[in-house]
């Protein structure tokens, strides 16, 4: 587990139900990850699940006794399905077999898992299911009807993924991996401050080619922009991410458009901007590009009498993406980033006024490029505020969540 996931589930109590399936082996790792993320985990297992993984294993990993029968007499009132569901912040069934999903849809209660899912207080103990089954079972019309009804009844369906299956076939129906399930749960418990909003964000550097193998770029890793895209999606926004050349995985639930040059980023952003509620320009866009690109790689002239001067390139200015969006008649709420090497607040305030936007987020570029942590200063017409308040670097995902909350407040106030 990375530092970003540690304690992201602090204080949450997860009621974890296992139905029968070979994917039960993944839940041992998920339980360990949940504990490291600060959650407490209470495991329930169906009789079929015990054929794939033992209660002893799950008890050791959760540090709690495992329940598997609705007739379990350990509860004083003999009502484990009531007591355990009242203690939980959420109920996750993983793996969720086709049979178990059918039971949930029909409201059946003939084993502990289905009984508890039926008896839980819906308004404060949401149900999440992670399907796991053969590709043909997943594609069957009965299963698809059941999944649609399960969603209509308020459950959240996580996955499934496509890939190799235990039966040797390949296709949809494979349960998400433990880390993917953890990421889904972390996202699920975040406040939905941007529910119903559409957010467009740029991230990473641009690359302005000089010839087929060389170009002008910068050290931006894109990590802050990708963290913001993830945080906004967690907050319930529909997120489109326009990314320069970076080696980062697309955050779950985010639509990604890859570009290389500033012109390509401009062409990707401008037609879409007006259809969004928020635009965040985190990308470190090159201010200049070569006026012409050489068709072939520029070679050194190695002849003895060749001049020793370096090639000379004519540069032309790139379009200002943030200013162009801020000038639209139906512009979204615009947030710019200023990565500076000195006089951060002064340069950020100059940029705020020059671009005509309500908020500039400043940071010291050389101190944060490529790192997993950062410290920000929020500059607006009323002043500036450090994030975090003590000015000390924090992990970028935590900062992104705080910044998303700040933007949500500003958007609602406006």
| Mean pLDDT per 10-residue segment, the chain (414 residues) | 64 95 95 94 95 96 92 79 89 96 94 93 95 95 96 94 86 93 92 95 93 84 94 96 94 94 96 96 89 77 68 85 94 89 79 90 69 82 84 84 94 83
What CATH architecture does domain 198-293+311-413 belong to? 3-Layer(aba) Sandwich (3.40)
Strand locations in 97-243 (E): 127-131, 156-157, 161-164, 170-174, 198-203, 208-209, 215-216, 238-243
List the one residue out of 15, 46, 9 whose CA is nearest residue 121. Answer: 15
Catalytic: which of 24, 125, 167, 334? 167
Strand 333-340 to 278-281 pairing? parallel
Name the CATH topology of 13-188: Rossmann fold (3.40.50)
Binding residues for CTP: 287, 297, 319-322, 337, 351, 355
**Is 167 considered catalytic here?**
yes
Quote the pLDDT of residue 1.
47
CATH code 3.40.50.10300 region(s) in the chain: 198-293+311-413
Instruction: Output phi, psi for 20, to 5 deg.
Output: -70, 135
Residues spanned by CATH 3.40.50.1950 within the chain?
13-188
Query: For residues 391 and 150, what is the distance between their CA atoms, to the nearest angstrom?
Result: 46
List binding-site positions.
287, 297, 319-322, 337, 351, 355
The label of the residue with tokens 């504990």 reads 35
pLDDT value, residue 364: 65
């Amino acid at each position: 587990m990375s530092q970003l996931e540690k304690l992201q589930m602090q204080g949450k109590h997860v009621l974890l139900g296992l139905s029968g399936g070979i994917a039960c082996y993944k839940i041992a790792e998920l339980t360990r990850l949940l504990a490291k993320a600060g959650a407490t985990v209470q495991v329930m297992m169906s009789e079929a699940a015990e054929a794939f993984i033992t209660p002893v294993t799950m008890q050791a990993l959760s540090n709690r006794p495992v329940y598997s029968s609705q007739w379990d007499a350990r509860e004083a009132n003999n009502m484990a399905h009531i007591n355990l569901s009242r203690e939980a912040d959420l109920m996750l069934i993983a793996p969720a077999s086709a049979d178990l999903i059918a039971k949930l849809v029909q409201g059946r209660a003939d084993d502990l898992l289905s009984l508890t899912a039926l008896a839980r207080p819906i308004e404060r103990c949401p149900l999440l299911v992670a399907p796991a089954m053969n590709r043909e079972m997943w594609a069957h019309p009965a299963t698809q009807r059941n999944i649609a009804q399960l969603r209509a009844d308020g459950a959240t369906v996580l996955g499934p993924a496509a890939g190799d299956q235990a039966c040797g076939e390949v296709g949809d129906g494979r349960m998400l991996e433990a880390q993917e399930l953890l990421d889904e749960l972390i996202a699920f418990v975040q406040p939905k401050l941007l529910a119903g909003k559409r957010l467009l964000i740029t991230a990473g550097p641009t690359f302005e080619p000089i010839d087929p193998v060389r170009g002008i770029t910068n050290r931006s890793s894109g990590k802050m922009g990708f963290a913001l895209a993830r945080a906004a999606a967690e907050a319930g926004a529909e997120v489109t991410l326009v990314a320069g050349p970076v080696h980062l995985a697309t955050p779950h639930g985010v639509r990604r458009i890859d570009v290389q040059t500033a012109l390509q980023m401009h062409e990707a952003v401008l037609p879409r901007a007006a259809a969004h509620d928020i635009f965040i320009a985190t990308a470190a866009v090159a201010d200049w590009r070569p006026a012409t690109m050489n068709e072939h790689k520029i070679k050194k002239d190695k002849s003895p009498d060749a001049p020793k001067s370096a090639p000379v390139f004519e540069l032309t200015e790139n379009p200002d993406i943030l200013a162009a969006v801020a000038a639209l008649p139906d512009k979204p709420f615009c947030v710019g980033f200023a990565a500076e090497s000195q006089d951060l607040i002064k340069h950020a305030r100059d940029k705020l006024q020059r671009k005509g936007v309500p908020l500039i987020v400043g940071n010291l570029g050389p101190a944060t490029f490529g790192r997993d942590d950062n410290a920000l200063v929020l500059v607006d017409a009323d002043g500036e505020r450090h994030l975090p308040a003590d000015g000390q670097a924090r992990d970028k995902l935590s900062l992104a969540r705080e910044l998303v909350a700040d933007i949500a407040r500003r958007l609602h106030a406006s």
